[in-house]
Structure 1
Amino acid sequence: MPPVETAGRRRTPGLRREEAASRCGLSATLYTWLEQGRDISLTARTLALLADGLDLTLAERAYLFELGQRHDPESPPPPPIPAPVPEIVLKSLSAIQTPAYLLDSSFTARGWNQPAISLFTPWHESREPNLLRFVFLIPAARTFICDWEQSARRLVAEFRAETGHTQNNPNQLHLLDQLRQESREFLALWNARDVQAKKGGERSFQHPEKGVLRYTQLNFLYEGQERHRLIMLHTSAQPGN
């Protein structure tokens, strides 16, 4: 097993080594070896004590267990694989002439038609299928989406409304936990507790090649094995027309 190294950065500034060891429930000798980066084998329980005592974030805790090559007993199980989208729905999507895409209840894109791929170039090229993660974690979204702040606020309010329809959905809970950890802006908007039904309306995008494009968005709900929303965009008057 590779050593679990903590040398060079004490997570508890102001505490003596013995105090930090006590806080973690470890012996001073073992804690010293850890700070020195010695090649020692640690159990999952010891790693958990270390993570709790040092107040590691979820990402830091996961990295610690990865270094120690141990399974974190407190890590949640991976979310289930979403149910496949019915073939008839995907065929209907490809038959639409305007940009159209399909979102599941976690706001993950489950299908696109070609006009949508051409329109949402930054989103599609980011290889991030989830709309919320694209908006809050991919920098290109902030220039691609006109009025990004307003759109981000609306999107979070719509996601909160969607979670009310599918309570305790494991995929939604997994996504929510990720976003609250990775985006302070998402966390602030989520804590505002705004709720808004997913409606259409005017949408504007700064396309990297075509400039500002304006659309009117329409939403349609499909209730199958899982809730999906069909998003369609119809061209509005463009600047200068």
Structure 2
Amino acid sequence: MREMADFLRSRRDRLRPEAVGLPAYGRRRVPGLRRAEVAQLAGISPDYYMRLEQGHPVRPSPSVLDALARALRLDADERDHLYRLARAEPAPLRRRADEEVVPGVHRLLERLDTVPAYVLNGRLDVLAWNAMAAALVTDFAAMPRRNLVWYAFCDPRARSFYVDWETMARQGVAHLRAATGRDPGDPATRELIEELTGRSEEFRTWWTWQDVKGPGAGRKEFRHPEVGRLTLDYVAMLLPGTLDQQLVTYTAPAGTPSQAALDRLAVLAAGRSEAP
């Protein structure tokens, strides 16, 4: 536990009292916060914190580690390091608001102007997308529920859009099942499951199979009403600093009919974006 003790002391030494809302009066023998001040900010006893800094064999709980991370103003990397030192495991990621996609990812989607791309969360809500993704799949902004599992089961167009609709729908169910494992009490996930259970016998059947699936890579086939059939390779990449957000892109090998169809789709998407 010596490494954790040294790390805590170094983080304490760098913080000035005024930076955390404490008075700076009186003579101080330490460059930063006192141990008792850190304990006060974290809501733990000074004796317990002293034992941590002295390297005693103490295994603090996740709630204590999170309290220390807040008290010491640790960033995400420092918080993760503290967890690994204290518990030999990474820190659980903090959940962002479902709709919160960082500006840099939005800009990346815009730059991918010839590649269909969108950002999903674990239950496959579409959080952000570019014009090519909307041109390929559907007008996400107009969806009653902006979710790909809901689209598969509740929008009649999905059954003709996905060449192998059953496989796609079952994969969506498996993604949704995995999302319940990461955050069992999430009310939005539970609400979606209840709606799909009430609307689709197929969903009810496949939900009982307990299949799970996470982000990955593969191939999907689409039957597009304007550019015809496309066979596209997809890659789903987890975004750093998020619990379950993933950036999904679709591409085709150069010189293939599918790439030619994507090129035609790009022209259509550009025309629609320029329309008043």
Length-normalised TM-score, structure 1: 0.60
- C-alpha distance in structure 1 between counterparts of 2:227 and 2:197, whole Å: 34
The equivalent residue for 1:171 is 188
Confirm whether residue 142 of structure 1 aligns to residue 159 of structure 2. Answer: yes
Using a 3 Å threshold, how does the CA distance of structure 1 residues 175 and 224 change in structure 2: closer, same or farther?
A: farther
- C-alpha distance in structure 1 between counterparts of 2:144 and 2:185, whole Å: 27
Secondary structure at 1:121 match in 2: coil
**Code of the aligned partner of 1:132:** V
Can you give the 5+ residue segments of structure 2 that lack an aligned partner in the other structure? Answer: 1-96, 261-276
User: 1:53-90 CA deviation, whole Å, 9 max, x = no partner?
Assistant: xxxxxxxxxxxxxxxxxxxxxxxxxxxx7342222221
Length-normalised TM-score, structure 2: 0.53
Kindly name which structure, 1 or 2, has the bigger radius of gyration based on alpha carbons.
2
- C-alpha distance in structure 2 between counterparts of 1:238 and 1:188, whole Å: 37
- C-alpha distance in structure 1 between counterparts of 2:226 and 2:144, whole Å: 19
Secondary structure at 2:245 match in 1: strand
What percent of counterpart residues are identical? 31
CA contact (8 A) 2:163 2:221 kept: yes
**Code of the aligned partner of 2:232:** Y
- C-alpha distance in structure 2 between counterparts of 1:166 and 1:83, whole Å: 17
Alignment of 1:186-205 (within 5 A): 186-205=203-222
Using a 3 Å threshold, how does the CA distance of structure 1 residues 155 and 186 change in structure 2: closer, same or farther?
A: same
Q: Give the count of matched residue pairs.
A: 161
- C-alpha distance in structure 2 between counterparts of 1:112 and 1:176, whole Å: 24
CA contact (8 A) 1:123 1:141 kept: no
The equivalent residue for 1:238 is 257
User: 1:28-65 CA deviation, whole Å, 9 max, x = no partner?
Assistant: xxxxxxxxxxxxxxxxxxxxxxxxxxxxxxxxxxxxxx
Superposed displacement of residue 122, structure 1: 6.6
Alignment of 1:50-199 (within 5 A): 82-96=98-112, 97-121=114-138, 126-199=143-216
CA contact (8 A) 2:117 2:248 kept: yes
Can you give the 5+ residue segments of structure 1 that lack an aligned partner in the other structure? Answer: 1-80
* Alpha-carbon RMSD: 2.3
The equivalent residue for 2:270 is none
Superposed displacement of residue 167, structure 1: 2.6
- C-alpha distance in structure 1 between counterparts of 2:107 and 2:177, whole Å: 30
Using a 3 Å threshold, how does the CA distance of structure 1 residues 211 and 123 change in structure 2: closer, same or farther?
A: farther
Equivalent of 1:219 in 236, 239, 245: 236
The equivalent residue for 1:14 is none
- C-alpha distance in structure 1 between counterparts of 2:168 and 2:157, whole Å: 14
CA contact (8 A) 1:100 1:115 kept: yes
- Structure with a larger share of its residues in helix: 2
